[in-house]
């Protein structure tokens, strides 16, 4: 397993090109699996299930079409994006893989005293706030090529939640999003990176 952690904001199109090249190399058995933790400048991406009605302000941030699953989502400063490029040829179970990603997120949040939970109607991980409503704190959007997974998941560390106002993220009301900091937890980016890595290692036993 290889690890790549970016210390600067990445260019979206360049990152996708890099990831697709890596997927091909993993498929050709030229390279080992890769986990890439990164951050983007503010932008919206439209997954394969994105609906025009969920784009509320097309001029707020740059918009990129993505070949991942899912609908519209936001990426930007304060959000950790984790790309999981993993060969599944020895265990061809996409449902299990997505469940593993959910468990990684739930475990990471638990490390900071946050109870994350699944939602039967939406992908990603949610938390309940004091108003007893569900708020999304992490998104999942994957794609698979030759049984190599890519794209992955994101966790809201401390983004400006107002930046979601230009879309209905994943088809949800854009006010129903939260972050680790919004929940009153003050942690560093490095602490979050460590927790993500430990939970990935624990889940995939690598």
From first to last of the 206 residues of the chain, give the pLDDT tens digit: 999 999 899 999 999 999 999 999 999 999 999 999 999 999 999 999 999 999 999 999 999 999 998 999 999 999 999 999 999 999 999 999 999 999 999 999 999 999 999 988 888 999 999 999 999 999 999 999 999 999 999 999 999 999 999 999 988 899 999 999 999 999 999 999 999 999 999 998 75
> What is the pTM (predicted TM-score) of this model?
0.95
CATH value at residue 95: 3.30.930.10
> How many whole angstroms separate alpha carbon 116 and alpha carbon 105?
8
Tokens representing residue 43 in the block: 């932008």
Residue 195 tokens read as: 């927790």
Cβ 134 vs Cβ 61: under 8 Å: no
**Token representation of residue 28:** 């050709």
Q: Where are the beta strands (DSSP E) in the chain?
A: 2-5, 34-38, 43-46, 63-65, 72-75, 79-87, 117-119, 122-128, 134-145, 148-156
Structure tokens at 156: 């809201």
Question: Between β-strands 34-38 and 2-5, what pairing exists: parallel, antiparallel or unpaired?
Answer: parallel
Q: Which of 170, 177, 180, 192 is flagged as catalytic?
A: 170
User: Do strands 117-119 and 2-5 pair parallel, antiparallel, or not at all (unpaired)?
Assistant: unpaired
142 among known catalytic residues: no
Q: Measuring CA to CA, which residue among 57, 172, 190, 62 is closest to residue 126?
A: 172
Q: Which residue range(s) make up the domain with 192?
A: 2-204
Q: How many domains does the chain have?
A: 1
């Amino acid at each position: 397993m290889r690890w790549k952690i970016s210390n600067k904001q990445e260019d979206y199109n360049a990152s996708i090109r890099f990831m697709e090249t890596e997927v091909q190399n993993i498929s050709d058995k030229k390279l080992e699996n890769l986990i890439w933790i990164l951050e983007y400048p503010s932008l919206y991406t439209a997954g394969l299930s994105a609906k025009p009605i969920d784009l509320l302000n097309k001029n707020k941030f740059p918009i990129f079409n993505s070949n991942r699953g899912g609908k519209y989502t936001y990426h930007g400063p304060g959000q950790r994006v984790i790309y999981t490029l993993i060969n599944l040829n020895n265990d061809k179970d996409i449902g299990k893989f997505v469940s593993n990603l959910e468990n990684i997120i739930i475990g990471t949040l638990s490390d900071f005293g946050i109870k994350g939970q699944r939602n039967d109607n939406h992908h990603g991980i949610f938390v309940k706030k004091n108003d007893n409503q569900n708020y999304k704190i992490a998104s999942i959007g994957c794609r698979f090529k030759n049984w190599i997974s890519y794209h992955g998941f994101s966790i809201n560390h401390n983004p400006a939640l107002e930046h979601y106002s230009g879309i209905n993220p994943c088809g949800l009301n854009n006010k129903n999003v939260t972050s680790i900091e919004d929940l009153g937890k003050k942690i560093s980016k490095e602490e979050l990176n460590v927790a993500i890595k430990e939970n990935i290692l624990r889940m995939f036993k690598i």
